[in-house]
Structure 1
């Protein structure tokens, strides 16, 4: 596994690198023969240390977790524990992930934009002269064909707030999202179209 460990405005020493490398290798190898890569970033926010962990374990399977603590070691341990829990929850389906979505349908490429938040801006700021919002990032992503249960697994593993996917049951686009109460919402326009 290709492992990158870095710090933002903090020095990541050899002892911490050894701890991270050993723990991540143990967690990842427990469920996967050969994880592709992992990135660990330590940062400091005030008196707290934050650790962000991203592991690419297979074809379009990404695990993400983060944690905060008063010291860097516990912040990493907290993030690694979250990843371990998610892996245990989905271990059977992850081992067979190559069978899921084996319908031969290639993912669709979609464009998405990040729009500047207006929360901290004046009423006129954050808009073009024509009133359109300011786009601060323009990227592409893959919209995969997934069963709803697989989409929920990807949302959970990636610690995402929302995920768009193509539903193999009807070929239409669906979206799942994490609600403020912690539950997951599911938007399926095809079901609404059938009821009218």
Structure 2
């Protein structure tokens, strides 16, 4: 498994690099040969009013999906511990759904949502532009991908039709699906 560890606004010691690789590497035992690459970014928030300013972010690229987790703590080693626990939970959930789907036990309807925290709305304005490759998938696969990324929406190409769909989490916790058409 290829693990890339990067540091931003911190001195990345060999001990810290080894610790991150060891903790995050445990996910490989859960996902076995499904992982294509892992990116670990460790950084310190510059704002002195943020108490938990040591942040660990991990992105795991699997065959067809991305699992992402972010945790913060007062100590970088603690942040790595927290993010690795979160990743292990997400990896088990992902593997269970993949195994169910391959064994014919996949759900035919959209699953019940997991509870999410409500965050305040960000300031208006475009602050980032992201280009993504759309892969054909079912709505159920899009929900799984959205949950693994920790997003409230997900743009995907539906496998059963042409075009682009947007899956989103509603305020009541259910999911909504937007199927745009030119009118």
What secondary structure, in the 3-state scheme, does the structure 2 residue paired with 1:187 have?
strand
Cα contact 1:51–1:79 (8 A) shared by 2: yes
Q: CA RMSD in A?
A: 3.1
* Per-residue CA distance 1:14-68 (angstroms, 9 max, x = gap): 222121111222212321226221111111123421111111122x321111001
State the TM-score, normalized to the length of structure 1.
Answer: 0.67
What secondary structure, in the 3-state scheme, does the structure 1 residue paired with 2:90 have?
helix
Aligned to 1:53: 58
Aligned to 2:116: none
Q: Provide the C-alpha distance between the structure 1 equivalents of 2:162 and 2:8, rounded to a whole number of angstroms.
A: 43
Aligned to 1:163: 154
Question: Unmatched 5+ residue regions in structure 1?
Answer: 101-117, 121-125, 127-134, 191-196
Counterpart among 62, 70, 75 of residue 71 in structure 1: 75
Relative CO higher for 1 or 2, CA cutoff 8 Å, sep ≥ 6? 2
State the TM-score, normalized to the length of structure 2.
Answer: 0.71
Aligned to 2:117: none
Q: Provide the C-alpha distance between the structure 2 equivalents of 1:9 and 1:167, rounded to a whole number of angstroms.
A: 40
Structure 1 residues 142, 89: closer, same or farther in 2, change over 3 A? same
1:40 equivalent in alignment to 2:45: no
Structure 1 residues 74, 64: closer, same or farther in 2, change over 3 A? same
Counterpart among 81, 85, 92 of residue 88 in structure 1: 92
Structure 1 or 2, whichever has the larger Rg, is 1
Cα contact 1:29–1:35 (8 A) shared by 2: no
Q: How many residues in Structure 1 have an aligned counterpart in Structure 2?
A: 159
